[in-house]
Amino acid sequence: MSDGANTGDEEILDELFAVIESRKEELPAGSYTASLFTHEKGENAVLEKLGEETTELVLAAKDDDTEELAHEAADIVYHLLVLLSMKGMTLADLRAELDERR
């Protein structure tokens, strides 16, 4: 597992969100992100994914499978950012909420 160094963590979330926003704008063929924005199920596609990934995360935690836990956590963060973008929100909204709790 990681040694805890977090250099670049903020940047990676900003970069990922910027990619998601550009996929939403350009809807390139072959993009999984674009397919979520154009899915026939609408927002339910990403909501269902978040539900599935959360169940998988819980199972990984119960198994003490930290590699799988990191994998599922990353899936959840990615789909969460897609949901925020879908709702016209940004990472700043998430940061503001977290900041208020300090």
| Alpha carbon distance 83, 75 (integer Å) | 12
| Region near ligand PRT per CB under 6 A, out of 2-10, 27-35, 39-47, 59-67 | 27-35
Residue nearest to ligand PRT (CB): 33
- The only residue of 3, 4, 5, 32 in contact with ligand PRT, by rule CB under 6 A: 32
Computed on alpha carbons and rounded to an integer, the radius of gyration of the chain in Å comes to 15
Q: Is-contact 19 33, C-beta < 8 A?
A: yes
- The only residue of 37, 45, 57, 78 in contact with ligand PRT, by rule CB under 6 A: 78
DSSP of 49-91, one letter per residue? HHHHHHHHHHHHHHTT-HHHHHHHHHHHHHHHHHHHHHTT--H
- The only residue of 17, 33, 45, 85 in contact with ligand PRT, by rule CB under 6 A: 33
- Asked if 43 is part of the footprint of ligand PRT (rule: CB under 6 A), the reply reads no
Closer of 34 and 69 to ligand PRT (Cβ): 34
